[in-house]
Amino acid sequence: MRVEFRVCLGAALFLGIIDLIYWFTSNDDAGTACLLFSFFAYALIGSFLFLQWRRRKGIPRPEDRDDAEMSDGAGEVGFFPAASIWPAGIGIGAVFLAIGLIYGVWYLFIGGVFVIGSLIGFMVEAEAREEGPDDPGFPAVGPTGPDPETRAATPGTSR
């Protein structure tokens, strides 16, 4: 975590300094505002990472340690959905929204239906993972995932 927050806070510091120089030497509000935005963006990310680091009391994660073994990273890595139709739905909706902004309200309506419907699907899918077949009950069958039988026996796990 240390390198990460230092990179972000360093970027914020640099942007802050050139913003100050720019502010005092030029008469350009647009550029000053943009640089200020950049400064805040990196200050935000950097201080979030800094707080995470503080919360861990400086204890490094396995990926922050020079001498970590693969076994140090054992355990849950994260949630990785297998496949999902909803992102494509949102994408199609976004195209309709864009055309709607040019040609009129009806396209906006279609786009809205697509985007909102897909967003709901997206969220329901994310919720369902809490209720789906739980990890302990699910047999581990090697590196390539479950065999076809197991897959067929667990409907509704589409992600």
- Determine the 3-state secondary structure of 134 from DSSP: coil
Contact 90, 115 (CB under 8 A): yes
CB of 57 to another protein, least distance (A): 18
Q: Which is nearer to another protein, 99 or 110 (CB)?
A: 99
Angle formed by the axes of helices 29-55 and 2-25, nearest 10°: 160
In the set 20, 36, 99, 108, which binds another protein (CB under 8 A)? 99
CA distance 122 to 115: 10
CA distance 66 to 10: 23
Given CA atoms 60, 63, 64, 65 in this order, what sign does their dihedral have? positive
CB of 12 to another protein, least distance (A): 11
| # residues contacting another protein (CB under 8 A) | 76
- 3 CB-contact burial (10 Å; exposed 0-12 / middle 13-18 / buried 19+): exposed
Interacting positions 28-87 with another protein (CB under 8 A):
28, 30-31, 34-35, 37-38, 41, 49, 62-87
116 counts as binding another protein under rule CB under 8 A? no
121 counts as binding another protein under rule CB under 8 A? no
Q: Which is nearer to another protein, 73 or 127 (CB)?
A: 73
CB of 113 to another protein, least distance (A): 16
CA distance 107 to 72: 53
- Supply the DSSP symbol for 58: T
Interacting positions 129-148 with another protein (CB under 8 A):
129, 132-133, 135, 138, 140, 142-146
105 counts as binding another protein under rule CB under 8 A? no
CB of 99 to another protein, least distance (A): 7
